[in-house]
């Protein structure tokens, strides 16, 4: 969980006079997406026992996320500052997450006791580089869930700026997570790093399923330039015996780039849990990922019907 502060559109961080407040965090965003789709979810994390921790808690609740297992400790709340992009200027982020209550105390989470009530467990790779406590906690979580037979999904979310020169450690830890995951959100680059060999988009799925016996779904996305300063997104879902890839679809006007991957993961996991077809999983994931980009804040807010209507060409219309 992070406090996310963003400058208003068109205003650079160094000029900001006001910040809009959102609450971020990869797993929380996925949890919010799943809650919006009707799932009962709990976010297990550590928050400081301060008014800012209260703010996060209230926000989780607002999104329909259970907070029963949130640990409150002393310490600070990690935060990040966002400047929205415009035309040729990319969005920019200043992270300030070192020394957070989560980074300092994540190892106090009692994962074993939590496995009993769980039916699915999702983890983001962001946990791994933050601190030794958070990586230890992630390992213990995966262990506890694996022992209890709970399916695990893992989104690599590799951020070079967080790992710095600890690439070897990244490879080792991410691979441990991949070993445990039934659903893996990973690029060819992620697989290359974890497997220590060159993986390209052609052989990624084959190698992944060969390397990770537990793996059932490998999911990846592709962004491409489209026109001047616009992008398109496509999504690929692989199983050991089939695959589906959506068309490259324009993302449209960018309101807020952050959280698109998390929204996509939530919709994909929803499909997987509901036994949807590969096509359904991919199209719903793509829809959520793109629709998120038109919503301010880290989280997709919407309904299952909106995911289904995504390709109906009603953009620019009014739904009365």
User: Count of CB atoms within 10 A of residue 276's CB?
Assistant: 17
Choosing from 71, 93, 118, 248, the residue that interacts with a copy of itself (CB under 8 A) is 93
Between CA 269 and CA 137, with CA 37 as vertex, the angle to 5 degrees is 50
- Indicate the residue among 128 and 152 with the shorter CB distance to a copy of itself: 128
Number of residues this chain uses to bind a copy of itself (CB under 8 A): 81
Question: Is 25 near a copy of itself (CB under 8 A)?
Answer: no
User: Would you count residue 293 as binding a copy of itself (CB under 8 A)?
Assistant: yes
- 8 A C-beta contact, residue 308 and residue 276: no
Residues 181-240 that bind a copy of itself (CB under 8 A): 225, 228-231
Q: Does 121 bind a copy of itself (CB under 8 A)?
A: no
When binding is defined by CB under 8 A, the residue of 156, 258, 278, 281 that contacts a copy of itself is: 258
By CB under 8 A, name the one of 42, 64, 115, 240 that touches a copy of itself.
64
CB of 156 to a copy of itself, least distance (A): 14
φ/ψ bin of 207: left (φ > 0), alpha (ψ from -120 to 50), beta (otherwise): alpha
Does the protein bind a copy of itself through residue 89 (CB under 8 A)? yes
Q: Is 88 in the site for a copy of itself (CB under 8 A)?
A: yes
Residues in the chain: 320
| Pair 264, 291: CB distance under 8 Å | no
Q: Is 116 or 313 the residue whose CB approaches a copy of itself more closely? A: 313
Pick 184 or 293: Cβ nearer a copy of itself: 293
Asked if 165 touches a copy of itself (CB under 8 A), the answer is no
CA count, 13 A, side-chain hemisphere, 258: 24
Q: Does 99 bind a copy of itself (CB under 8 A)?
A: yes
Nearest distance, CB of residue 60 and a copy of itself, angstroms: 9
Stretch that binds a copy of itself, among 58-66, 119-127, 145-153, 173-181 (CB under 8 A): 58-66
The piece of 115-123, 170-178, 196-204, 249-257 that touches a copy of itself (CB under 8 A) is 249-257
* Candidate segments 17-25, 130-138, 200-208, 237-245, binder of a copy of itself by CB under 8 A: 17-25
Dihedral (CA of 23, 27, 31, 34) sign: positive
For residues 37 and 267, is the Cβ–Cβ distance under 8 A? Answer: yes
Alpha carbon 20 to chain centroid, angstroms: 21
CB of 123 to a copy of itself, least distance (A): 20
In which element (H, E) is residue 46 found? strand 46-48
Query: CA–CA separation, 125 vs 4, rounded Å?
Result: 19
What span, in angstroms and rounded, lies between the C-alpha atoms of 256 and 259?
8
Cα distance between residue 185 and residue 191, in whole Å: 10
């Amino acid at each position: 969980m992070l406090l996310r502060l963003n400058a208003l559109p068109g205003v650079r961080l160094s000029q900001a006079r006001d910040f809009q407040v959102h609450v971020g965090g990869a797993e929380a965003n996925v949890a919010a997406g799943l809650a919006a789709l009707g799932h009962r979810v709990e976010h297990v994390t550590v928050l400081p026992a301060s008014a800012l921790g209260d703010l996060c808690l209230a926000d989780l609740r607002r999104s329909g996320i259970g907070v029963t297992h949130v640990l409150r400790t002393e310490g600070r709340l990690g935060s990040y500052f966002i400047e929205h992009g415009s035309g040729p200027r990319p969005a920019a982020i200043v992270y300030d997450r070192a020394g957070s209550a989560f980074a300092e105390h994540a190892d106090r989470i009692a994962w074993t006791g939590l496995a009993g009530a769980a039916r699915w467990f999702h983890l983001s790779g962001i946990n791994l580089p933050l601190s030794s406590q958070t990586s230890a906690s992630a390992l213990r979580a995966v262990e506890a869930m694996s022992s209890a037979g709970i399916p695990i999904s893992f989104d690599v979310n590799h951020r070079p700026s967080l790992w710095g020169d600890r690439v070897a450690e990244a490879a080792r830890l991410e691979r441990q997570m991949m070993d445990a995951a039934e659903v893996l959100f990973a690029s060819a680059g992620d697989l290359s790093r974890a497997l220590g060999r060159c993986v390209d988009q052609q052989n990624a799925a084959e190698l992944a399923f060969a390397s990770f016996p537990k793996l059932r779904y490998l999911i990846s996305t592709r962004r491409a330039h489209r026109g001047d300063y616009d992008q398109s997104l496509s999504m690929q879902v692989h199983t050991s015996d089939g695959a589906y890839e959506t068309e490259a679809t324009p993302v449209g006007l960018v309101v807020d780039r952050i959280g698109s991957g998390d929204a996509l993961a939530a919709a994909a996991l929803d499909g997987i849990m509901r036994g949807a077809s590969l096509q359904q999983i991919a199209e719903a994931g793509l829809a959520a990922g793109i629709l998120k980009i038109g919503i301010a804040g880290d989280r997709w807010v919407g309904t299952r019907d909106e995911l289904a209507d995504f390709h109906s060409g009603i953009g620019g219309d009014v739904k009365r």
